[in-house]
Structure 1
Amino acid sequence: MRLGLAEVRNPSMLPTLRPGDRLLLGYGAAVRPGDVIVLRHPFQHDLLIVKRAVGRRGAGWWVVGDNPEVVNDSREFGPVPDGLVVARALLRLRPPHRVVRPGRRGRPRQGSPVAVLAALPSAVRPLRARSRRLRAR
């Protein structure tokens, strides 16, 4: 399996992923229901999007965003053929300025090395299935 990095650019996967988060991707990794995947948009193949694979529907994956406010997913374009799935997201990597809580006026605090190390567990997080959420859809 080849590895790669991608950056999240829109809010369709909030609260799981925020714009600016980076993803460690596994190219060729098996996709299971609940996985976060990167795929080519069915109507615009040069556009890569990040969605959650809910399950198989016919010859493709039914994908949705975690943000119910954004509908740019299978509710709009239907199941996504396997050939459009690019990679599975393995880890979320949050930028360091996002990990340290903001100080006054929303600016990041100048964190001590201890504060930065304490914040690392929330900066690097595996992406797992959200089973309760999937059952609700």
Structure 2
Amino acid sequence: MRQFLKKVASSAGFVIQYGCVVHCVFRYIGDLVLCSGPSMEPSIISNDIILTEHITPRFRQIKRGDIVIAKCPYNPQQNICKRVRGLPGDKIYTNFGRTEIVPIGHMWLEGDNSSNSTDSRNYGAVPEGLIRSRAVMKIYPLKFFNS
């Protein structure tokens, strides 16, 4: 019985250590994101899985053109996937003929599918604190395996 309890305790310790490492990797380094919705088509199609990293947003190294995952400004339970169109201080010319200046500490995010995207054109510049990660690459579906 003692041998059995030692094996159980050893296995439980391994599972807890592994879980802590996985948690830290997903929280601070990067993770996988399942994107849904048409706002980023044709770059990212609904149900594509992308690899993201959390380091660039922490050091405020996001550049214009990057695809980012952010908390939705009007629904914090939801994440959004958008392209950075404007950085702090940039002038943005909207489709409605308005000129917006991106405030310090904010970014202008837009979907690639401008006819079917709820983005900064609707809710304004997004605070940098809502940016969670930057897309690195699309990992599913793998187009080069399809013949």
Q: TM-score, normalised by structure 2?
A: 0.64
After TM superposition, list the pairs within 5 Å mapping 1:1-137 onto structure 2.
2-29=29-56, 30-56=61-87, 57-59=102-104, 60-96=106-142, 99=143, 119-120=144-145
CA distance in 1, matches of 2:63, 2:124: 18
The 10-residue stretch of structure 1 (1-10 or 42-51) with the greater mean CA deviation from structure 2: 1-10
The 8 Å contact of residues 69 and 80 in structure 2, kept in 1 or not, is answered as: yes
Which runs of 5 or more residues in structure 1 are unaligned? 100-118, 123-137
TM-aligned CA deviation for residue 93 of structure 1:
1.6
TM-aligned CA deviation for residue 44 of structure 1:
0.6
Identical columns (%): 29
TM-aligned CA deviation for residue 67 of structure 1:
0.3
CA distance in 2, matches of 1:83, 1:68: 24
Which runs of 5 or more residues in structure 2 are unaligned? 1-27, 88-101
Equivalenced residue count is 100
CA separation of 1:71/1:12 partners in 2, compared to 1, >3 Å: closer, same or farther?
A: closer
TM-aligned CA deviation for residue 28 of structure 1:
2.5
| One-letter amino acid of the structure 2 residue matched with residue 12 of structure 1 | S
Of structures 1 and 2, the larger Rg is shown by 2
The 8 Å contact of residues 64 and 86 in structure 2, kept in 1 or not, is answered as: yes
TM-aligned CA deviation for residue 18 of structure 1:
0.3
The 8 Å contact of residues 38 and 117 in structure 2, kept in 1 or not, is answered as: no
Superposition CA RMSD, Å: 1.6
Give 4+ residue runs of structure 1 displaced > 2 Å after superposition.
none
Q: TM-score, normalised by structure 1?
A: 0.68
CA distance in 2, matches of 1:68, 1:78: 15
CA distance in 1, matches of 2:133, 2:55: 6
